[in-house]
Each structure stands twice: as structure tokens, then as C-alpha cells.
Structure 1
């Protein structure tokens, strides 16, 4: 655990992407199997230790130190794992002095019941120093939050062993931790794993933002960017899998979609929920409901028949990667589009449709079409180079995303809470509200992004100077500061007293020039609902 804890500590305080890549690569080269495999599982979010839960960790520490001291310390530190690691007392009875390995931790915790896990975990914490305890708890709960994405960790592995990261991604989801065959391939001790007869995930082709530029529509095709979740659907050897953009298997959340895709191949599309007008056209929303409706289905391991009926899912297809066993990714977008159109008749029309190409004479005409796109299910426009192959990741000049301009509203800060990680000492999460016609201020959203470090310090100071009440970790503040909030769309919500919910809210400006009484009305927000 010592080497892994040192890696995490270094990654937390490293801002440079290249430096993080080198840190992980050096660790993987110096660490033996199967420790490095389990470390990769932790870094990529593929490690699941079901017997360890945050509530159990809190109960453990509160049995060893004063519960009030722990809660006050947790409130100050902002992270449970770090707080427990620092407060955990030295064991009264001497313990095994031999250092713990990651493999020992995983083997010891993987198959434990929830009743047995506390004693085993406590014994492990007794054998660790503070840094090792932090790493152990972060790994056990699956919440590293160290600024390392799964893609970056895989890139570091590829760099360490001289592999192509896309080749690593190609087989990653067909393998299981601790990835012995993957490291055998990397060290030259084994052959390259292959995805034959396994419905594996392939890296998505991603887009760069179109930053105040223009493209020639003779070279680029335009499609709507739908506001759902990007999915890849793969059917191989009688097995169908749905993968999210991050490669997570979401098949269980959408069983009816998986059951309807029984044609061998792999396609790329947007997972959506049918709106009220299920037979609609692109002009009236294309039959898709807002993201708010889709959210009712996300994250559910089991989905009832009623949920499937109330929020019927379907996929609007963008691209095709495989037709049967034939790999189409090297073909141009134009040729793949032709193959996708030929593939469509083999699919259930109740579960799959085709994202239409936007017809526009030139870019100026496309600008006008995009400006009028305020449907709840449309997020913007995609621009795809007609001769582009399907390549994983972002490649300059091939695909662009041209998101519609955000909506904005002037809102009043109402509550604040400390953040996590490097923001744990600052009040950085803000709840804001708008006025009713009767002059009551009701919450309409929460935001923590969009501000600079200097603005964060200014807002933190405002919260501390203007606190009215404390509710656990939450502070109520004087209703005097106006924040201009940008958001992608607005939806009706029965869960909120205001009746509205924002999609992707972020802070656009701090309006110290505007009196709180002049912030927007909730009725003004309601008129933005589409």
C-alpha cells in the first residue's frame, strides 16, 4: 500500500497532465502483478468492494474517537477518507508489522459480507500509517477524486509499455481486474488480447468545440446534437451490451433497448426517452423528451415494467462501427452513413431511429437553423467532416460540436456548502433562487463551476461574513448577492418547490452591481421551458 499511497499523494498535488502520466507510468513499471492491476482498477473506477460503505467507515471511526470530534473534523477537512486517516488511533494491541499489499487488501475485502467487513477493515487500518489509510479508504469506497480520468490512466499504461492507447481501450472492457493478460501483452510475456466473440467497448469518436469558426458545408455534414446520453450498442455471439461514453455497462438500466438489438454489429447513438408526441418529426422535437425525463431511468440497476412504460427509451443512431464482423471504422463518414442507412431496416423502429442530416445551403443558413433550435431535446449541432474515419478520442479538424447558446438568469445566493478535494476549505457549492410574484425567494438550482480561483475566494469571504444560520455543513447567507447563472435548458420539476429544474447550471458572472430585489422571477424562468 505504501507505493500506491505515495502515488495518490503525488497525483493530488500535480496539475500537469504529462506529469500525472509519468507518475502513473513509473508506478506501473515498478509495481509487480497483481498490485498494479488492482491499482489500475481503482484508478479507472473498475474496483468494486461491496462490503465497504461510507456509513460503515463512519461507524468504525466513531467507535474509536469522540463522534463529535470526528464530525467537526470532517466538516473542516471536507473528506471522510482523509479525516479518518488522520484521526485513526494507534492500535492498543500490537499488530502484524508486515506491510500490506493492494492484492491483500482486495483479497481480504472483496467477498466479505457487510457484517464481517468492519472488523477486517479495522484490522487493515491498524496496520497502516496515515497515508496508507487514506489510500486504502479511497480505494475501498471507489471515490478517489484525484484528478485522474479513466482515459488518462489507460493512456499512462499505454505509455509505460509502448502500446497504442486505442488498442488498450479496444480490449479493456473484455478483460477483468487485475488484467494479467493486459500486462503480459505490455511486457512481451503474452499475446495481445482480442475482442473476438465478446461484446467489448470501443472508444467513442469525440468532437472539439467550434470556437467562433465557420466550416464549409461541402466538406462537413451537419446533424442535431441530441440531449440524452451517448451510447454504444454492441451485439456479438448472441450477447448485447450498452456502453456509456465512459465505457460503463448500462445494459441493466435499459433492458428493453438491449433486447431489441439482436443484429450483429456495433452502433453509436444517443439514448433518449420518448416524449408525448412519440411519432413526432425533427421539427417538433423528433419524439424525444427532455433530459429531465431520461434522468428518471439513469443509474437504476433494475427497471420495473411501469418505469419502462412511463419513460420508454429509444436510441437515435449517429454512426455504425461494425456491420456483423466487418469493421467499418476506416471508412469515411459518407460511406459509414450509407451503411448505417442500409442497416436501419434490420432494427426495431420502436426502439431505434436515425439522426437526420440537417439540410442547409451554406453556413449562414445553418446558423439561422441553429438559432431557432430551442427544443428541449436539442443541445446544438454536430459538424462532421465527410471524409473522416471513425477514430477514438478527439482529433483536430474532424468533428466539431456547436452547442446552442446558453440561457441565463439572475439569481440570488441563498445557501453555501464546502466543496471536496482542493476546494474542501472553501464554501464553493452555492444554492441560488429566484423570486415569486409574492416576493418569496425559492431555490431553483445549485452550481459550483464557472468561477476563477480569485472569484472563489471572494464568494467564500462573502459566505463567511454574511452567514445567517447553520444547518450541519450548510450555511444560510444574507440574500443580497446576485449571481448570473448560465444553463442549457429548463424543465418542470415536481421535486422542487419552485417547480423548475436547470440543466447544467454554472456561474457566468458575479453581479455585485445588481440589487437582489432585481433578480429574476420564477415566472420568467417558466417561460423558458420548452
Structure 2
């Protein structure tokens, strides 16, 4: 078996980024995985999915860009060699670590070709968006290992790690994947809700056998208990146990020996209303403040005292959860909602959620098992859509499939005091190929500067943006940033003087 080089991964990444076809992406990824040896599958999978196997290594763009000096003439870096170096880099700390880290990075970049250097910078700074999303990579793993995609997806959900799932699939096939089981103490990939266009549409889609629950503006948590040990993970499977002792205490008090709970947590004010999203998220930072207490709200139960519930219908899981939280002292831990509501009752749940300061509701099919990701329509979230008219301040030249187009736009809100627009965020979401082509043709006519990366523009164009809300930000001068912004349309009927103000965005806090 030939040694797979970093060069091969870079070439595959470029091929994946150059096509819109899911089939072609999957085929390119599968071809590389079939070339890889046992020690190469996991790191190659991780890189093509957009991050090192070791996670973040604490090296920023400024440091890395300074290392990208004279490139190597020929590709020689092997995948296993680069992975080993990144492992050493991630584990380097203490006295003299800065010098040693620079030596390691210098040796890596010195042996890399120009294309490999560019790939490594984007990989190590989290900016590698070549199109190998989780779903595509899972399809590629299934194709390379010649196993059913459903078996790969389930093993991935239960193991929580894409590189390890790929390595197991390529080495042990379907039998190895089917041997993966839920383990208390190892987080499961969370099941996610897809967007519902409206409450009526979600109810019509899923029928009468549903539950309608509050959708909180909080942080997703998964909590595992085994005896007196309790561990807590976020939606991205980052462990935060040490930072949330109040959540640990609440779960440790439950009348069980072992459990895996799924839910949300958020900070509430003295009136029981949600505090700002940043107040909740501050507890998950490196310097979280315990002055902000978190309240948990559980909506699913995946394991209870030796019984796995993943494959049971949601109705059975909710019955088990209700039994676990039956004591009056545990009642506040339940996510508010109504099972099998009439349309009027469902509307009341939505109204109640919004009146209490929450985002909306989630409509869930009671016959659905637990499955990771947004596949299917078993869970649909319904919440009001905020829209704003904002000024385009600039745009970034794209890469990958968007190379040669002006893509990520910089957005500004009107200063009510008459000053220049105030930047509040960026977005490349919601852009069709037609819109990208229009932007690339139109924007240069409004440009004041182009450094090859960002085109700065006169504030002349107004765009309508949909967003989920706003949050405090130290990154932008107005102290506020958009949450999950996406382009709806441009507004040639509006001038920048008619754009929404920074005060309108602050009001969304």
C-alpha cells in the first residue's frame, strides 16, 4: 500500500471544493480513503472534514502566515508524519514551549509546498471550508468500506468521532461498526431539529402524534450520570463538567443510578425570564463566571439504569423521562410542552414560549427514534424570523467552489446620529450562484479599495437579511453582532438612509 502524502489530501480537498455534486464529492473522498493505510485514515478524514484530529492547537493566523516562507519544490510530507507532528504540537506546554512550538511549525511549513502551506494555514485556523461536510464524509466512508450508510451513521452517532468511525469502518467493516454501543460517559452526537416554515405547516407535516415543546435561547447540553459521577457536554461534544457544578448537582440528585439526558440550559433572571444569550454562553468560556447560574431543561432520555432508549419511539422516551422527573422537586427540570395537542393548544404553547421570552417551539414526532443530525423531518423548530435592511460595507473574495466570486459580505447598520454605518457582522449564507455572479459584477463599481482579500465598498447598497437575533460583541464597534444572518434579497428600492439602525439591532438583545 502506497504512502499517502499531504499533497494527496490537498488535491482531494481542492476537488471536493470545486464541485457542487454531492456524488462527486463523496467519490473523491472515498478514493482517497481507499488509498490510505491504517494510520492515515483517521487524520486524513479529520483534515478533509475541516479540522485536525487533535482539535484546536492554539496557533493563530498571524503566527502561521509568518511561517509560510519559501515553499518546498516537491511534495514529500506524509499524512502520518504531519499527524505525528501535530500531536506533539498539541501536547507542547510549559517552559520553553513557545520556542519548541515555533520549531515544530517551522519544520512543517518549511517542508510544505505552496499549496500545502495554504491548506495548513486554513486547516489550523479553522478556515478550511472545502465542502466535505459531515454528511458527505459519512457517505464517502460507507462507499470506501462498502458498508451501508445507515450503519456508518449510527456508529458515528454513538462514538461521537468521525475519524475513529472512518478507521473502524475501513479496518473492521460492518461488523466492527455494528459493535459500537451507547456508553454512559461517552457523548452521543445530538439529534437536531430542522427549520419549520410555520407551526401549522409542522403540524400538518407530522400529524397528530406529536409533542410541542418550548425552544429556548440557551445552550444544548448532554448529561451522563454513572453512580455519583456526572459529566456534561455541549452540542459540539466539548466537555464542560468542571464549569457547571449546579447542573452536576441537579442531576446527581435524580432518583437513578445511570442516565443519559438531553436538553438545554440557560441563565434566568429573578423573574424566571431568560437572560441574554451571552450570559448563558459566558459559563462555557475559559473564564466563566459562576455568578451566572444555569437552569437545566431536559427534553429527552437516551439511557436509564441499564436500559438503552435510543431506538425506542420518542413517546416511550418521554414516558421514561416523566417517571425520572416525577418528584415535585424535579418538575422544573422538564422542558415545558404538550403532547398530542389540538391546533389551538399548540398555538398556546407557542404563544406561551414567546411571552416567556423564549425563541419558539419544537414540534416532534412521537414515533421517531433518536438519530443524529438534521436528517428527516422528525423534529421541526418553529420561531419568528427577524429581518433587517442593512448596508453592504464590503465583501471577501471566495475560495473553493466560490473562487473568483465576491462572497462573504460585510454588513452595517445605520448610525441614527448621522455617522457612517456601523459594522454588525458578515454572512455568506443564503447566496445562490446567480446572486454570487451579480455581486461579483456589481460590487467593483462601488469599491474604494481591494487588497486581494477584501473589497471595501462605499455604503450604497441595501440588503435584506434574515437572522435569529442579536448578541453582544466586542468584535464590532457597535457592541452588537448578528446571529445566524443569511441573505434574503437586495433592496434597490431602499437607500442607505432607510436602512435599519444600530438601535434596532440592540433592541433584539
TM-score, reference length from structure 1: 0.77
Alignment of 1:213-224 (within 5 A): 213=201, 214-215=203-204, 218-224=208-214
Q: Which residue of 2 aligns with 1:429?
A: 408
CA deviation string 1:174-218 (max 9, x = no partner): 898698666442287x79654576512223333343346243763
Give, in whole Å, the separation in 2 of the partners of 1:326 and 1:442. Answer: 57
Pairing 1:90-239 to 2, within 5 Å after superposition: 90=73, 99-112=76-89, 113-139=97-123, 143-161=127-145, 162=147, 164-173=151-160, 183-186=170-173, 194-195=180-181, 199-211=185-197, 213=201, 214-215=203-204, 218-236=208-226, 239=229
Q: Does the 8 Å CA contact 1:260/1:348 hold for their aligned counterparts?
A: no
Contact 1:447–1:507 (CA<8 Å) still a contact in 2? Answer: no
Corresponding residue of 1:330? 311
Distance 1:487 1:322 in 2: 35
Alignment-derived partner of residue 77 in structure 1: none
> Structure 1 153/238 Cα, relative in aligned 2: closer, same or farther at 3 Å?
farther
| Counterpart position of 2:31 | 26
Aligned with 1:483 (options 444, 449, 463): 463
Judged with a 3 Å threshold, the aligned counterparts in structure 2 of structure 1 residues 51 and 356 are, in CA distance, closer, same or farther, namely closer
Question: Any unmatched runs of 5+ in structure 2?
Answer: 90-96
Q: Kindly tell me: are residues 495 and 6 of structure 1, through their superposed partners in 2, closer, same or farther at Cα, counting changes over 3 Å?
A: closer
Structure 1 position 34, deviation (Å): 0.3
Q: Which residue of 1 aligns with 2:231?
A: 241
Task: Give the direction of change, closer, same or farther, for the CA distance of 1:206–1:497 in structure 2 (3 Å limit).
Answer: closer
Tell me if the contact between 2:109 and 2:117 (Cα under 8 Å) persists in the aligned partners.
yes
Tell me whether 1:407 sits opposite 2:412 in the alignment.
no
Determine the structure 1 residue equivalent to 2:94.
none
Question: Structure 1 residues 473 and 394, CA, compared in 2 at 3 Å: closer, same or farther?
Answer: closer
CA gap of 1:50–1:219, structure 2 versus 1, over 3 A, is: closer
1:504 counterpart (471, 474, 484):
484
Q: Which has the higher helix share?
A: 2
TM-score, scaled to structure 2: 0.80
**What secondary structure does 1:206 align onto?**
coil
287, 294, 297: which one aligns with 1:303 = 287
Give the number of aligned pairs: 483
- Aligned-pair Cα RMSD in Å: 3.8
State the 1:511 CA deviation: 0.8
Secondary structure at the counterpart of residue 464 of structure 1: helix
- Matched with 1:47 is 53
For 2:242 and 2:316, the matched residues in 1 are separated by 32
Report what 2:93 is aligned to.
none
Distance 1:252 1:440, change over 3 A: same
Q: Does 1:464 align with 2:444?
A: yes
| Aligned twin of 2:20 | 15
Gaps of 5+ in 1: 65-87, 91-96, 281-286
Q: Give the distance between the partners of 2:451 and 2:76, measured in 1 at CA.
A: 42
Residue range with higher mean Cα deviation, 488-497 or 258-267 = 488-497
Mapped to 1, the partners of 2:398 and 2:243 lie a distance apart of 30
CA distance, structure 2, for counterparts of residue 52 and residue 489 of structure 1: 31
Distance 1:325 1:4, change over 3 A: same
Q: Which moved more, 1:177-186 or 1:53-62?
A: 177-186
> Aligned to 1:451, what secondary structure does the other structure show?
coil
Give the whole-Å Cα distance in 2 for the aligned partners of 1:240 and 1:473: 47
Corresponding residue for residue 275 of structure 1: 269
Larger mean Cα displacement after TM superposition, 473-482 or 27-36: 473-482
How far off is 1:268 after superposition? 0.9
